[in-house]
């Protein structure tokens, strides 16, 4: 599994973060673990979209 680089901050109510390669796409989570999962899913979706654009 490839490491994913991301930036995050802890708001008082939730965790917010974005992927270093896609700073315009943010994710959130109630816990740090939930944020990591959201960022992982976001990375998967964006990489899939990027791969599909190359094919079509």
Contacts of 24 (CB under 8 A, 6+ apart): 18
Q: Give SS3 for 52.
A: helix
Which tokens hold the place of 33? 């673990």
Mean predicted confidence (pLDDT) in 24-51: 96
Q: What is the pLDDT of residue 49?
A: 95
Which tokens hold the place of 5? 């680089």
Instruction: Give percent above pLDDT 90 in the chain.
Output: 82
Q: Is the pLDDT of residue 22 over 90?
A: yes
**How many CA atoms lie within 13 Å of 33's alpha carbon, on the beta-carbon side?**
0
**Residue 44 region, left (φ>0) first, then alpha (ψ -120 to 50), else beta?**
alpha
Q: What is the pLDDT of residue 55?
A: 85
The band of 1, judged by pLDDT with boundaries at 50, 70 and 90, is: low
């Amino acid at each position: 599994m490839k490491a994913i680089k991301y930036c995050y901050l802890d708001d008082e109510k939730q965790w917010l973060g974005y992927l270093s390669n896609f700073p315009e796409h943010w994710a959130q989570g109630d816990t740090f673990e939930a944020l990591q999962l959201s960022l992982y899913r976001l990375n998967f979706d964006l990489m899939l979209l990027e791969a599909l654009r190359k094919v079509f």
